[in-house]
Structure 1
Amino acid sequence: MNTLQIASLVVVLAGLFGAVNSIFLKLPASIGILAVSLIASIGVLLIDLAIPGLGIADSIRTLVNELHFSEALLEGMLGLLLFAGALHVNVSDLRKQWVVVLVMATIGVGISTVLFGMGAVAIFGMPLIVALVFGAIVSPTDPVAVLGVLRESDLDPTLETQIAGESLFNDGVGYVLFLVLVGLAFPTLGEHHADGAWGPFVLFFREALGGALLGLVLGWITFRIMRSFDDYPVEVLLTLGLAFGGYALADAIGVSAPIAAVTAGLLIGEHGSTFAMSKQTREAVDGFWKMVDAILNALLFMMIGFELFFVTFSGDMLLASIAAIAMALLARLAAVAVPVLAMRRAHDFVPGVIPIMTWGGLKGGISIALALSLPNSEWKPEILTATYVIVVFSILVQGLTVGRVARHYGKPA
């Protein structure tokens, strides 16, 4: 199949799965599409087991492989999704919570990566540096999954800002940390390898700070252009160019593209919306990016369901993956509790912030994409399978119950 045919099939299936969810399951849109996609994938695998001569699973596996999930997400969809998410964050609230968000998105990710890595050594028996790469894959919360669930949950505005801000930035930080650790674990790759004792630290700060600076510069240039005229179709196109072009430029010059997308989106969402857009333009930009966000979410969660065809299960692997779920939750608990307890005297936190942010720290497609992007090694199948189980549990179980957890633990004492 050519690219157009594959893209058409993906869009058609996403629409059909969304309709099935709306008619029968009535789950939140993204979670429902994932559930339907999983049910369809499991059904195909069962048919293939019953009638192996049909070769249905192999045919679909070939088709899914042509989607290039990792490249499609990390080099295409992610920039648009992060930009759309940042565009709708309340920057005024985020400014008040910036210290909390910064600590959660940096120190919190580091704590989770180390703790999960140590647990992965015990569970899977892999080398520590490979286990730390595994930790970097599953530690960041996925802004796509988190922001989608936040829209369905009635959370305290302060807590919502903390969760949304953390998920947007720790995704970028986690991606940079992943690149650094992959360079150490697999130095022959060369692309993100940094020599010398200080090399990994230089690489980390170059990627993170460089991405933030590039996003701000490109966002400011776009803001100045938009301020000079009022033509909402062109201004919508400019924001699309900023998201696409900024992400591609960041990737080309070796700085963090996710962080560049987030900072550019925040600037346009706050400064551009207030000072460079008329009411008509603001409504057009807002409506366009909400639609982009909804469509890409649907496509992404459907594709996550189909990645089941690349996961290899066995009894031992399933038990290890279940243990990895528990380890991921414990690592997330530490990543939340340590910063909150350290900052509670200087910052106000809503009741139940630790259990709510722990359970609300959803994993998503980015973790699967990172696992798929790993170089082939003896540990890649185990990392991919465990990551997939963690992500599916996170979205289906945590995603469907985080509102209930928030209502229970968020009650004033």
Structure 2
Amino acid sequence: MFEIAALCLVITAVLAYVNQRFIKLPTTIGVMAIALAISLCIVIAASLGLDHGLRRYEVSFLQSLDFSDVLMQGMLSFLLFAGALHVDLRGLSRFRWQVGSLALIGTVASTVIVGLAVWLILPLLGVQLPIMYCLLFGALISPTDPIAVMGILKRANAPKNLEVVIAGESLFNDGVSVVVFALFLGAATTGVIPGWGEAAGLLLREAGGGIVLGLVLGYVGFRMLKSIDQYQVEVLLTLAIVMGGYALARRLHVSGPLAMVVCGLLIGNNGRALAMSDETRRYVDMFWELVDEILNAVLFVLIGLEVLLVTFSMPLLAAGLCAIVVTLLGRFLTVGLPMRLAPRFFNLSANAWRVLTWGGLRGGISVALALSIPPGHEREVILTLTYCVVVFSILIQGLTVERVVRTL
């Protein structure tokens, strides 16, 4: 395991250097683009018999890594906590109903819209996928990725209230989507469709339990941080809260992502303002900023390399292009259109719907969920569709969202 981690860091550092030295794209987008280009070159070389076993070695490395497990059970807790740490809780509370409706109603509605649209379109392209797996794809592709969204918004200098809404939605809809995904995955693999009451109960237990656990962790962490003044110990406490809290959430079968978001909001606002000295606050901020940057870079490199595990064919590529259009349409219908029709409720500028629609980036969480589906034809189709949407989202939407922000 140590050798795998070391190799990931070495590859990431080299690609980050190449990007910074020659390409000069935003780090996460740059390293992913380079990793994707390298993987595609290996695929082409292998098809010509010129790779000398390089593709086989990279596939073996990726399979030993288990991207889904690494992200969902390891990196995600750090990334969500670090992302929530600098979200303004007071600003978020002002938009609590907007964020809540987008994260819950918007995610569920997008799941249904995207799933049904894909189910209707795929047979026309010669690709077969049962409706339950189409809804499963809708569930994993609907949440926006806070890891990708928040960094780009900061560079784009988006208006503060818009940044709060998009960041809040991105942080909270992950927990909702993971629960919805688990429901559809269970129904798809067992053939047993849960009733509305059972589904609502699971959602309430997972999401509600995660929020309550996050509140408890945040309060305990706040009291401990307030009782001492030594930055080394306080940084260690925040690290322990994240790792121990996420492990506890798994044991309690509640939403770990939501627990980390709520805990991060409390520590980042009340904890930083009332429980830390200026010196401690500076070190805590620097530590989690570094953790966020490093893990972000590693994550996007792995997304670029994972293309070797994706099955491509002309029907699947056509389906992937349609999935891009359907996902954007679903985002517009569940986020952009309501904001356009009810601007007073959302209390944002007239053109904000464009940023929320185009800035809803998909990333590593969608790929990780797709990779967690049991092997088979359905997994290959969903993984290809997911990869097409994620690559388009990060490379095209990610590089152009700043221009959309400027229209405000």
Q: Same fold (TM over 0.5)?
A: yes
- The reply on whether 1:42 has 2:40 as its aligned counterpart is yes
Q: In structure 1, what is the Cα distance between the partners aligned to 2:305 and 2:197?
A: 41
Q: In structure 2, what is the Cα distance between the partners aligned to 1:247 and 1:328?
A: 30
Question: Structure 2 counterpart of 1:43, which letter?
Answer: C
Alpha-carbon deviations, 1:295-354, whole Å to 9, x = none? 000000000001011011111111110010000000010111344246423441113111
What are structure 1's unaligned runs of at least 5 residues?
Answer: none
Q: Match for residue 138 of structure 1? A: 141
Deviates more, 1:383-392 or 1:144-153: 144-153
- Taking structure 1 as the reference length, the TM-score comes to 0.95
Q: Match for residue 181 of structure 1? A: 184
- Taking structure 2 as the reference length, the TM-score comes to 0.96
Task: Decide whether the 8 Å contact of 1:206 with 1:255 is kept in 2.
Answer: yes
Q: In structure 2, what is the Cα distance between the partners aligned to 1:78 and 1:322?
A: 28
Question: Structure 1 counterpart of 2:139, which letter?
Answer: A
Task: Decide whether the 8 Å contact of 1:108 with 1:339 is kept in 2.
Answer: no
Q: In structure 2, what is the Cα distance between the partners aligned to 1:231 and 1:157?
A: 32
Describe the shift of the 1:93–1:114 C-alpha distance in structure 2 as closer, same or farther (beyond 3 A). same
Deviates more, 1:79-88 or 1:106-115: 106-115
Q: Match for residue 291 of structure 1? A: 290
Q: Match for residue 361 of structure 2? A: 362
Question: Structure 2 counterpart of 1:160, which letter?
Answer: E
SS at match of 1:379: helix
SS at match of 1:363: coil
Q: In structure 1, what is the Cα distance between the partners aligned to 2:200 and 2:109?
A: 16
Q: In structure 1, what is the Cα distance between the partners aligned to 2:385 and 2:346?
A: 36
Describe the shift of the 1:177–1:229 C-alpha distance in structure 2 as closer, same or farther (beyond 3 A). same
Q: In structure 2, what is the Cα distance between the partners aligned to 1:197 and 1:360?
A: 32
Q: Match for residue 84 of structure 1? A: 82
Q: In structure 1, what is the Cα distance between the partners aligned to 2:344 and 2:50?
A: 62
Task: Decide whether the 8 Å contact of 1:145 with 1:364 is kept in 2.
Answer: yes
Question: Structure 1 counterpart of 2:150, which letter?
Answer: L
Question: Structure 2 counterpart of 1:154, which letter?
Answer: N
Task: Decide whether the 8 Å contact of 1:103 with 1:339 is kept in 2.
Answer: no
Task: Decide whether the 8 Å contact of 1:88 with 1:269 is kept in 2.
Answer: yes
Task: Decide whether the 8 Å contact of 1:82 with 1:258 is kept in 2.
Answer: yes
Describe the shift of the 1:42–1:171 C-alpha distance in structure 2 as closer, same or farther (beyond 3 A). same
Q: Match for residue 126 of structure 2? A: none
- The reply on whether 1:153 has 2:151 as its aligned counterpart is no
> What is the 5 A alignment of 1:136-285?
136-187=139-190, 198-285=197-284
Alpha-carbon deviations, 1:179-221, whole Å to 9, x = none? 1221222237xxxx89655211111110000000001101101
SS at match of 2:65: coil
Alpha-carbon deviations, 1:139-198, whole Å to 9, x = none? 00001111121121121111111111110001111111111221222237xxxx896552
Q: Match for residue 127 of structure 1? A: 130
Q: Match for residue 371 of structure 1? A: 370
Question: Structure 1 counterpart of 2:89, which letter?
Answer: V
SS at match of 1:51: coil
SS at match of 2:254: coil
Task: Decide whether the 8 Å contact of 1:112 with 1:139 is kept in 2.
Answer: yes
| Number of aligned residue pairs | 403
Q: In structure 1, what is the Cα distance between the partners aligned to 2:43 and 2:345?
A: 54
Q: CA deviation at 1:56?
A: 1.6
Question: Structure 2 counterpart of 1:168, which letter?
Answer: L
Q: CA RMSD in A?
A: 1.5
Task: Decide whether the 8 Å contact of 1:243 with 1:261 is kept in 2.
Answer: yes
Task: Decide whether the 8 Å contact of 1:89 with 1:266 is kept in 2.
Answer: yes
Task: Decide whether the 8 Å contact of 2:45 with 2:51 is kept in 1.
Answer: no
What are structure 2's unaligned runs of at least 5 residues?
Answer: 124-128
Question: Structure 1 counterpart of 2:325, which letter?
Answer: A
